[in-house]
């Protein structure tokens, strides 16, 4: 019904404005009002109001026929009131105020406008109804409606300003985050959690995580990043107010450090042997310094027997290296994309060593005289010294680790798989991962020792693995086209994994 009224008003306004002042007689205008505004008893008040308003506006329009613009404005005003009249009955039917109760409408409108937050929609509806209900209140109602729209515009402007400020703050926050990340990218974080930092306020060093949370307090005059051993070297005043060096672990526990044997005393709990010639160290040095908890070395220390090792919290040996070799494209996985295998290294080793004769033959084929003899000798030395020799060292190494585990210590071993430089590098990376897994299987499960498996499940025996490219990456294998790369000694040496680190320490209870 409202739509019909609106269509009528639009048609009426368009027709009359085209006539430029030719207004139909009053009777014609009245009879042109659609049924929604006339002839129904329940709308008699609204229809009567429309008759009166339209008559007044028509008379006003005739007065200003010489001024079409004013006449059009008058018509527009009349149409506005016709539209309000068309909608007013439907609104009044929803109001709690009685029909014609203008003070009630005014009170409802003012209440809606003064509410917090204001109910703008209700306020506009009530003020429109008030303008129709009491012509004397029309100017007041129009003023209030304009005030409502101004307030809405102010709120929209304020919202836009707040949105712009929020966007600017978000942009600045993103920029600050990017700057912070750029700085953090230049910091070495041990195990991705501990990075060395400096506090300019107190002039001290400490350690933070990647979220800038302080993990170890800023209290050191000198500090270094954490090493693979899990310790960092720091300097501060000791209890005697003397500058002293300490090793700290990832929890911030301190161990007073000595880097030479003549520095040992009852307060020293950490000894770094990596800069000391250790071949001449006597076992008495360790037995007389039972307070030692941490020893760092770059190779095995002859004077360190099991009795000493079992009392240490940590024995870290850097520079340790075992190289274990594999036959071409071995071991196999469930499928070519597998990174794991069910084989133990012993199984692959014996199968590989048994092919020694074929490797000697293929590597020396096509050669004659001394060249052939040298080729066979170099391949034979590789199989005996490297393949077989490292296998023997690996067995002794595992026995040593097993003894340490059974004595109640924890063990961490680092194994690096080498990605061979010839062929599909994606496949070779997965092959290197299978080789690491093969050696890990041997360490964990060789000979079916169930207690070793228990140590693994308890977290006391841990293998840390990594994959790296061969140092020969990009090497020009001249004989690759002839298919003899498989037996080329340079390439054969690249098919390996390396045990690069060993750490023995007392388990945390």
- How confident is the model over 316-327, as a mean pLDDT? 81
Q: Which residues contact 344 (CB under 8 A, 6 or more apart)?
A: 438, 441, 442, 445, 446
Query: Does the predicted TM-score (pTM) go above 0.75?
Result: no
With 0-12 CB in 10 A as exposed, 13-18 as middle and 19+ as buried, what is 45?
Answer: middle
Average pLDDT, the chain: 78
pLDDT of residue 31 exceeding 60: no
Question: How far apart are the C-alpha atoms of 325 and 441, rounded to whole Å?
Answer: 15
Residue 119: CB atoms within 10 A of its CB come to 17
Residue 360 to residues 239, 356, 376: CA-CA distances in angstroms? 66, 6, 5
Three-state DSSP class for 237? Answer: strand
The alpha carbon dihedral of 493, 497, 500, 503 has a sign of negative
Mean pLDDT of the 243-271 span: 93
pLDDT of residue 447: 64
pLDDT of 359 higher than 90: yes
- Return the minimum-mean-pLDDT range out of 24-33, 162-171, 227-236, 422-431: 24-33
When mean pLDDT is compared across 195-204, 336-345, 446-455, the lowest value belongs to 446-455
Tell me: the pLDDT tens digits for 113-134? 888 888 988 888 888 888 888 8
Q: Which CA distances in Å does 493 have to 119, 209, 228, 373, 453? A: 83, 40, 27, 20, 31
**Which pairs with CB-CB distance under 8 Å and at least 24 residues apart come from 43-51?**
43/89, 45/99, 45/100, 46/85, 46/86, 46/88, 46/89, 46/132, 49/85, 49/132, 50/81, 50/82, 50/85
Please, what's the b/e burial string for 209-248 (b: 16 or more CB within 10 A of its CB; e: otherwise)? eeeeeebbebebeebeebeebbbbbbbbeeeeeeebbbbb
For residue 188, the model assigns a pLDDT of: 82
Statement: residue 71 has pLDDT above 90: no
Determine what percent of the chain is predicted with pLDDT higher than 70.
72
Q: What is the pLDDT confidence band of residue 244, given thresholds at 50, 70 and 90? A: very high
Determine which of 148-162, 343-357, 468-482 has the lowest per-residue pLDDT on average.
Answer: 468-482
Q: pLDDT tens across 413-461, in order?
A: 999 999 877 778 888 899 999 999 999 999 988 666 667 888 888 889 9
pLDDT at 239: 84
pLDDT greater than 80 at residue 65: no
Is pLDDT larger for residue 124 or for residue 94? 124
Q: 128-149: buried (b, 16+ CB within 10 Å) or exposed (e) per residue?
A: bbbbbbbeebeeebeebbeebe
Query: How confident is residue 397, by pLDDT bands cut at 50, 70 and 90?
Result: confident
Poorest-pLDDT segment among 260-274, 316-330, 406-420: 316-330
């Amino acid at each position: 019904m409202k739509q019909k009224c609106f269509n009528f008003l639009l048609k009426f306004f368009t027709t009359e404005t085209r006539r430029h002042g030719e207004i139909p007689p009053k009777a014609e205008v009245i009879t042109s009002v659609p049924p929604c505004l006339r002839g129904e008893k329940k709308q008699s008040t609204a229809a009567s109001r429309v008759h009166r308003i339209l008559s007044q506006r028509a008379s006003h329009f005739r007065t200003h026929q010489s001024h079409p613009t004013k006449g059009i404005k008058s018509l527009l005003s009349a149409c506005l009131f016709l539209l309000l009249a068309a909608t007013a009955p439907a609104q009044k039917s929803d109001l709690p105020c009685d029909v014609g109760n203008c003070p009630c409408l005014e009170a409802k409108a003012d209440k809606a406008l003064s509410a917090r937050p204001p109910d703008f929609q209700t306020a506009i509806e009530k003020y429109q109804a008030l303008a129709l209900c009491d012509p004397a209140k029309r100017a007041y109602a129009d003023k209030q409606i304009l005030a409502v729209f101004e307030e809405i515009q102010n709120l929209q402007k304020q919202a836009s300003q707040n949105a712009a400020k929020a966007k600017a703050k978000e942009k600045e926050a993103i920029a600050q985050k990017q700057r912070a990340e750029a700085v953090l990218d230049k910091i070495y974080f041990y195990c991705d959690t501990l990075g060395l930092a400096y506090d300019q306020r107190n002039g001290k060093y400490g350690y933070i995580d990647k979220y800038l949370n302080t993990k170890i307090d800023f209290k050191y005059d000198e500090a270094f990043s954490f090493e693979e051993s899990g310790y960092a070297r720091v300097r501060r005043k000791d209890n005697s107010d003397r500058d002293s060096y300490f090793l700290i672990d990832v929890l911030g526990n301190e161990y007073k450090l000595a880097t030479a044997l003549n520095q040992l005393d009852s307060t020293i709990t950490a000894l770094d042997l990596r800069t000391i010639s250790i071949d001449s160290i006597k076992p008495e040095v360790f037995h007389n310094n039972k307070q030692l908890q941490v020893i760092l070395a770059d190779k095995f220390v002859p004077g360190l027997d099991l009795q000493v090792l079992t009392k240490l919290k940590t024995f870290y040996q850097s520079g340790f290296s075992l190289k274990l070799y594999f036959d071409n494209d071995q071991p196999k996985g469930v499928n070519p994309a597998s990174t794991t295998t069910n084989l133990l290294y012993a199984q692959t080793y014996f199968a590989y060593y048994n092919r020694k004769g074929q490797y000697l033959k293929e590597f020396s084929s096509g050669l004659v005289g001394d060249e052939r003899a040298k080729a066979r000798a170099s391949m034979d030395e590789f199989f005996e010294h490297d393949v077989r020799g490292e296998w023997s060292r690996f067995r002794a190494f595992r026995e040593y680790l097993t003894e340490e585990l059974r004595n109640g210590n924890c063990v961490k071993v680092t194994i690096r798989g080498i990605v061979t430089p010839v062929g599909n590098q994606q496949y070779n990376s997965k092959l290197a991962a299978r080789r690491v897994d093969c050696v890990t299987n041997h360490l964990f499960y060789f000979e079916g020792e169930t207690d070793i498996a228990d140590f693994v499940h308890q977290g006391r025996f841990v293998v840390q693995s990594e994959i790296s490219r061969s140092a020969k990456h990009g090497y020009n294998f001249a004989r690759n086209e002839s298919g003899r790369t498989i037996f080329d000694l340079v390439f054969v040496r690249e098919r390996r994994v390396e045990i690069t680190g060993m750490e023995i320490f007392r388990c945390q209870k």
